[in-house]
Amino acid sequence: MTRSQPTPPTAVLVAIDIAKLRNEVLIELPDARRRRRMTVTNTRAEHDRLVAELQALERPVTVGLEPTGHYHRPLAWRLVQAGFDVRLISSVALARTREALHNGWDKNDPKDAQVILHMLRIGAAKPYHDPLEHGINDIQELSMTHEVVSKAKTEALHRIQTHYLPLYFPEIDRFRNNTRSDWFFALLERFPVPSSITAFSKEAFVAAAWDLAGRKVAKARLLGDIYDTAQSSIALPIPPEAPAITMFRLVILPALRRGAGARWKNPSLSEP
C-alpha cells in the first residue's frame, strides 16, 4: 500500500494550476483567513517573482501542482532548486475531487487551484522527484525517444504495407523477412517501383543493388529473384520520377535504421 505523505500543519500551502502560457497560483498561510491569488506567466522574470514571494514568507512552503504535459517541468525545477517541497496531484484524483466538491464536471483554472489546495491540505499528493535533480533526465529522454522512434517506424511500416506496396510493388513484400529488414527498405528507397528495376539489365541491377542487400547468403540469387519479380509485377504503371513516388520515398525514410540508407546517414555518427 502506498505510504501517506501528510502535509506539515505549519507549512504555507501553494496550489498551482499549470498551463502552457500562464499559471494560476493560490497561496494559503496557516494563520490567515484569506488566500492570495497570483497569475504567473511562463517567463523567467515571473518564475523569479513567484520564488521571491514565497521566500519572503520565511516559512516552510509546500507546493502542489498537477502535471500538465511537460509544461510543469521548468517551474517545478525552479521551485525544487529554491528548496520548496513540491508535490504532484494526480489528474484523475483531481477530476474526481472536483466533481465531488462542486457537484459537476465543469472546470476552470481558478477552480482547479482551489481543488489542488484542498488536496494538499488533506495530504492527497505525492512528492515530486525531478528527473534533472535526481540525475535521471538523460535516461528518461533516451527511453521516451526510443518509444517515439519505434512507434514512428511501426507506423511507417504499416503505411507501407497497407497502402504503398499494394499500389506500387505488391510482389516485393514477400522478400521482407521481418520488421528489422533494413536492407529491404534501403532497396525500396532506391528502387521503389518495378520500372526502376527493369530499366537495368539483370546483371546491372544486381551490381547496383549489391551493397544495399547487406550481408546475405546467396545474395545474387535473391537479387535475381527480385528482378524477375519486377518484370511480371501487377503494380500500377507509375514512373519513378512521379510526385507520388517521391511521397513514397518520404514515407520509407522513417523505416530505415541508422546505416541502412547511406544517403541520409548522419555524418557525425559515422565510424572513423
Give which of 135, 114, 113, 116 is closest to 126, Cα–Cα: 116
pLDDT at 263: 42
pLDDT at 168: 94
Do residues 170 and 236 make contact, with C-beta atoms less than 8 angstroms apart?
no
Do residues 183 and 154 make contact, with C-beta atoms less than 8 angstroms apart?
no
Residues 76 and 185 placed together within one structural domain of the fold: no
Residues 262 and 145 placed together within one structural domain of the fold: yes
Residue 223 structural domain? 138-267
Residues 128 and 170 placed together within one structural domain of the fold: no
Per-residue pLDDT reduced to its tens digit, 239-262: 999 999 999 998 888 777 544 433
Give which of 80, 94, 83 is closest to 122, Cα–Cα: 94
Collect all residues with Cβ–Cβ distance below 8 Å to 130 and sequence separation of at least 6: 73, 76, 77, 80, 86
Residues 158 and 259 placed together within one structural domain of the fold: yes
Do residues 119 and 94 make contact, with C-beta atoms less than 8 angstroms apart?
yes
Q: What whole-number distance in Å separates Cα of residue 269 and Cα of residue 262?
A: 12
User: pLDDT band at residue 225, thresholds of 50, 70 and 90?
Assistant: very high
- Domains in the chain, number: 2
Residues 43 and 86 placed together within one structural domain of the fold: yes
Per-residue pLDDT reduced to its tens digit, 138-192: 999 999 999 988 888 888 888 888 999 999 999 998 888 765 678 888 899 999 9
Residue 2 lies in a domain: no
Q: How confident is the prediction for the chain on average, in pLDDT?
A: 86
Do residues 213 and 197 make contact, with C-beta atoms less than 8 angstroms apart?
no
Decide which of 105, 135, 165 is a domain's last residue: 135
Whole-model pTM above 0.85? Answer: no
Residues 237 and 157 placed together within one structural domain of the fold: yes
Residues 130 and 143 placed together within one structural domain of the fold: no
Residue 128 lies in a domain: yes
Of residues 109 and 253, which shows the higher confidence score? 253
Task: Provide φ and ψ at 123, rounded to 5°.
Answer: 80, 20
Residue 47 lies in a domain: yes
Percent of the chain with pLDDT over 90: 58
Collect all residues with Cβ–Cβ distance below 8 Å to 118 and sequence separation of at least 6: 97, 101
Q: Report the CATH number that the domain containing residue 28 is assigned in CATH.
A: 3.30.420
Collect all residues with Cβ–Cβ distance below 8 Å to 57 and sequence separation of at least 6: 12, 29
Residue 1 lies in a domain: no
Residues 161 and 227 placed together within one structural domain of the fold: yes
Residue 4 lies in a domain: no
